[in-house]
Amino acid sequence: MSLTFDNSRLHNEYLTPSHNEWRNQLRRFFENEIIPFADEWDECGSIPADLWPKSAKIGILGLNYPEEFGGSSEGIDIWHKNILNEELARIAVGGVGATLMVHDIALPPILKFADRKLCEMVIPAVLRRKRISLAITEPSGGSDVASLSTKASLVDDHYIINGSKTYITGGMNADWFTTAVRTGGEGAAGISTILIPSNLEGVTRTPLDRKQGWWCSDTATIYFDNVRVPKNYLIGEENQGFKVVMVNFNSERMGMSPGWRRTRVCLEDAAKWAGGKTFGRKADHQVIPINFLI
Q: Which of 33, 67, 252, 268 is catalytic?
A: 252
Q: Pairing mode, if any, of strands 132-135 and 191-197?
A: unpaired
Q: How far is CA 198 from CA 120, 132, 135, 203, in A?
A: 18, 9, 12, 6
CB atoms within 10 A of CB 201: 9
Four-CA torsion 27, 28, 34, 35, nearest 10 degrees: 70
- Of 288, 252, 114, the C-alpha closest to 196 is 114
Question: CA-to-CA distance for 52 and 38, rounded, in angstroms?
Answer: 15
Judge residue 72's burial from the number of C-beta atoms within 10 Å of its C-beta, 0-12 exposed, 13-18 middle, 19 or more buried.
Answer: middle
* Distance in angstroms (rounded) separating the CA atoms of residues 5 and 211: 26
Q: Is 238 in the active site? A: no
From CA 123, how far away is CA 175, in angstroms rounded?
12
Residues carrying an active site annotation: 252
